Amino acid sequence: MDAHVSPSRVAGRARAPPSKSYTHRAILAAGYGAGTTVTDPLDSADPRATGRAVEAFGGEVAWVGGSDTEGDDDGGASAVEVEGFAGRPNTPDDVIDCANSGTTMRLVTAAAGLTDGLAVLTGDESLRSRPQGPLLDAVAGLGGRAESTRRNGQAPLVVGDAMAGGTVAIPGDVSSQFVTALLMAGAVTDEGIEVDLETELKSAPYVEITREVLADFGVYTERTETGFRVPGGQTYEADEYAVPGDFSSMSYLLAAGAVAVAEAESVVVEGARPSAQGDSAIVGVLDRMGADIDWDEGAGEITVRGGDLSGVEVDVGDTPDLLPTIAVLGAVADGETRIVNAEHVRYKETDRVAAMAESLEAMGAEVTETQDSLTVHGGDSDLVGATVHGRGDHRLVMALTVAGLVADGETTVTGAEHVDVSFPGFFATMGELGADVSVE
């Protein structure tokens, strides 16, 4: 499916979808417990994959208040009712298919390490290319069995044999999800788990999201001098958990307001209540670039009224999902926008550094790419419509759609259906704001 975007001016109010990161963690935390209603979840493909994993471990998951399929036209389910497996997951009867969800794969790998038997985890072609080796080594080091069937550190994975807990050292610069997975599983082991980081932790705010969710479920974690620790023998308990709005998804709406707002108008994004989400940094990035932006934290609303943007340097070590959005902003801004500390962004659904460089060049931007950075030379760039490829990556599709709002001529973004991963109503929301966009 392709999205066709023509030059447009936008204005009005929009609500970003619920947080994918919080939804994943809340559903699995509820699975570790006895019974929880997760309200305002993101109803999309990835959280549904986590829900299926909870069911595979012996829980029951019901998406209520919407249709039986993710991302339906009425906004999806309003709640997820989870009857958990009460601490220790059962050995699954069948293979767990994580589809395209890297978060599901990693969080569920540690959970699978708790089973008495063995669980087999797999996913689509993209997911089967993503690195899992450090997490497999950690599970094995904690007394479980964890192997890649192809012995390359990638799925399919075979995991189980009742991981006991203890202390383990892992690199911090591959994925913070390894830490999240171990903390969530460690709470129900007898010994608990202490994670020592061998390298600097990238995407650190995502671990803080995990700790925030666990605290809401009554699970204690702590920072140590070298990493994190979760005591064992704990119980997950929460009758209800409300998912906050997603700042990664808000970034596209805010960027649209910054580059394409109608004269004397504004874009107001609702649902922006403060949380541990690192991607709330987009507000500061836009402010530094010169956007007229205001965040009313009490009301949970961010207002953008455009502005004359100038290039800045942005370190995305903690905010890898913002790279596509910032790259588009850089193509519109005057001067250079340098996105640094970005090597780990190459190991997402696709190599987002290379993909954004290629796509923006196809649209007329001047870019310089290194292994760990992307520089967009906005002063030398005039965006023009082109056909650019979403590469099966929801974040690329949405960022490139924003670029199409200010390109000269029509922009076609392939793979438009992939927005359903995190923002099922994205194109409808953009249309409501005034964007000239169609999907076919």
Q: Can you give the pLDDT at residue 16?
A: 85
Active-site residue identified among 321, 380, 382, 436: 321
* Residues 201-219, mean pLDDT to the nearest whole number: 95
In degrees and rounded to multiples of 5, residue 280 shows phi and psi of: -60, -10
> Euclidean distance between the first and final Cα of the chain, in Å?
5
Q: Is the domain of 219 the same as that of 328? A: no
102 known ligand binder: yes
* Rounded-to-integer distance, Cα 274 and Cα 402, Å: 25
* Rounded-to-integer distance, Cα 55 and Cα 137, Å: 26
Claim: this prediction has a pTM higher than 0.85: no
Q: Can you give the pLDDT at residue 75?
A: 56
* Rounded-to-integer distance, Cα 236 and Cα 206, Å: 20
20 known ligand binder: yes
* Percentage of the chain modeled with pLDDT above 90: 91
What is the per-residue pLDDT across 136-195, written as a single tens digit (0 to 9) for each? 999 999 999 999 999 999 999 999 999 999 999 999 988 999 999 999 999 999 999 999
Asked if residue 401 lies in contact with residue 5, where contact means CB atoms within 8 angstroms, the answer is: yes
Asked if residue 237 lies in contact with residue 213, where contact means CB atoms within 8 angstroms, the answer is: no
Q: Is the domain of 268 the same as that of 165? A: no
What is the per-residue pLDDT across 46-66, written as a single tens digit (0 to 9) for each? 999 999 999 999 999 999 986
Among candidate residues 242, 267, 297, the one where a domain is terminated:
242
Q: Is the domain of 206 the same as that of 118? A: yes
What is the per-residue pLDDT across 271-309, written as a single tens digit (0 to 9) for each? 998 889 999 999 999 999 999 999 999 999 999 999 999
Q: Is the predicted pLDDT of residue 122 greater than 90, yes or no?
A: yes
* Rounded-to-integer distance, Cα 121 and Cα 74, Å: 32
Among candidate residues 191, 221, 242, the one where a domain is terminated:
242
Number of domain units in the chain:
2
Q: Return the H-helix or E-strand segment holding 37.
A: strand 35-39
Q: Can you give the pLDDT at residue 73?
A: 40
Q: Is the domain of 173 the same as that of 255? A: no
Q: For the chain, what's the residue count?
A: 440
Q: Can you give the pLDDT at residue 74?
A: 43
What is the per-residue pLDDT across 84-103, written as a single tens digit (0 to 9) for each? 998 999 999 999 999 999 99
176 known ligand binder: yes
| 369 CB-contact burial (10 Å; exposed 0-12 / middle 13-18 / buried 19+) | middle
* Residues 415-436, mean pLDDT to the nearest whole number: 95
Average pLDDT across the chain, whole number: 95
Q: Is the domain of 252 the same as that of 284? A: yes
Q: Can you give the pLDDT at residue 72?
A: 44
What is the per-residue pLDDT across 102-117, written as a single tens digit (0 to 9) for each? 999 999 999 999 999 9
Half-sphere exposure of 129 (CA within 13 A, CB side): 9
Q: Is residue 347 very low, low, confident or very high in pLDDT (cuts 50, 70, 90)?
A: confident
What is the per-residue pLDDT across 232-266, written as a single tens digit (0 to 9) for each? 999 999 999 999 999 999 999 999 999 999 999 99
391 known ligand binder: no
What is the domain-level CATH number for residue 101?
Answer: 3.65.10.10
Cβ partners under 8 Å of residue 162, min gap 6: 114, 115, 116, 143, 144
Q: Can you give the pLDDT at residue 361?
A: 98
* Residues 343-365, mean pLDDT to the nearest whole number: 95
Among candidate residues 226, 242, 258, the one where a domain is terminated:
242
**334: annotated active-site residue:** no
352 known ligand binder: yes
* Nearest residue to 422 (alpha-carbon basis) of 12, 11, 23: 23
- The residue range of the domain holding 364 is 2-17+245-439
